[in-house]
Amino acid sequence: MGGVTWIMVPSSDYTATVNFFEKTMGFSKISHGTPVTDKQFLRFAVFRTANDVVLEVVEPIAERATLYTHPIVSIEVQNMRPFRTYLKDNNVQFLTEIIDNRSGSIWSYFLDPAGIPFQIASDISTSKPKLIDVSKEGINRILVPSRKFESSLHFYQRVMGFNIEEIGIPYTDKQFLRCAVVRMTNGIVLELVEPTSKCSDLYTRPVVCIKVRDLTATWQQLRKAGIDFLTDFFDTGNGEGWIYFDVPGASSFQLHGRYSSS
């Protein structure tokens, strides 16, 4: 099992989502075009964040538009074919066969117990996961909400083989009842969270956390750009905080960084 360096962001308004990441957030667009191999999507645009985690905006075809509505986390594995067989033997539902780009990369999509689409992928050019500097701006954490917390936790531990770093009750973000933290091999954190009944319809799929240097300044910048925020600030009391917002044409993201309520 490797890490997470690639996250797909399905969009119902491709132009708006691309403009948000490129112009509002200022992420570097490294490629864009029409998919040649993965025909589930009509267009793509690839952005690299400051700590090298990649966000790929994709426009699903009509047949996949209701399935791919939230970020799809791509998990690197060394030997994907046998691992995929192992997952199938454990009753994991796959959405696609193995997709091969004939250049050394293969991938496939599956559903976790909460019905969340994920991707597993292998790249023969990569011998070991690239370490991510989680202290830098960029992506360092992904929340994975689940109404079936126990089933999802069992799947993470027993089937995927993730090492659960901690399980507990969130002290700051009371939108969630329980959480379980998985630190991937390359440093990225997947955090399984159980939404409260009040928030269960708000958080149904992965929430990508974007780390910024100055949370207040970025919040002001996004407000001027007309971005809708879903919550007030969550203040840890130690100089850090976060807030949730909707990416145009896409889904809910979290913005976090240095913050002072004074």
Query: Rounded to an integer, what is the distance from CA 212 to the centroid of its chain?
Result: 16
Report whether 84 contacts 94 (CB < 8 A). Answer: yes
Q: How far apart are CA 84 and CA 82, in angstroms?
A: 5
pLDDT tens track for 14-25: 999 999 999 999
pLDDT tens track for 50-86: 999 999 999 999 999 999 999 999 999 988 999 999 9
The helix (run of H) or strand (run of E) holding residue 54 is strand 54-60
Q: What proportion of the chain, given as a percentage, has pLDDT over 70?
A: 97
Write down the CATH superfamily of domain 138-258: 2,3-Dihydroxybiphenyl 1,2-Dioxygenase, domain 1 (3.10.180.10)
- For the chain, what are the domain ranges? 6-123, 138-258
Q: Left if phi > 0, otherwise alpha if psi is -120 to 50, otherwise beta: which for 72?
A: beta
What is the rounded average pLDDT of the residues 42-49?
97
Write down the CATH superfamily of domain 6-123: 2,3-Dihydroxybiphenyl 1,2-Dioxygenase, domain 1 (3.10.180.10)
CA angle 26, 28, 34 (to 5 degrees): 120
Report whether 212 contacts 137 (CB < 8 A). Answer: yes
Q: How far apart are CA 41 and CA 44, in angstroms?
A: 7
pLDDT at position 78 is 86
What is the rounded average pLDDT of the residues 1-18?
94
* Close Cβ partners of 113 (under 8 Å, ≥ 6 residues apart): 146, 148, 151, 152, 154, 155
Task: Flag whether pLDDT at 127 surpasses 60.
Answer: no
Report whether 6 contacts 46 (CB < 8 A). Answer: no
pLDDT tens track for 202-254: 999 999 999 999 999 999 999 999 999 999 999 998 899 999 999 999 999 99
pLDDT at position 125 is 61
pLDDT at position 262 is 67
Q: How confident is the model at residue 175 (pLDDT cuts 50, 70, 90)?
A: very high
DSSP string of 59-72, one letter each residue: EE-GGGTTT--S-E
